[in-house]
Structure 1
Amino acid sequence: MVVAKELNVEVVAADRKVWSGSASIVIARTPDGEVGVMAGHEPVLAVLVTGPVTVRTADGGAVVAAVSGGFLSVSEDRVAVLAEQAVLAEEVDAVGVEAEIAQLQGADDEAARQWAEARLGVASHR
Structure 2
Amino acid sequence: MATITKKELIDRIADATGDKRVLVKRVVQRFLDEVILELGNGNRLEFRDFGVFETKVRKARRAQNPKTLEPVEVPEKRAVKFKIGRLMKQRLAAISGAQIDGDVAQMAESDRDDDD
Radius of gyration: which is bigger?
2
Higher percent of residues as helix: 2
TM range (shorter): under 0.3
TM-score by length of 1: 0.23
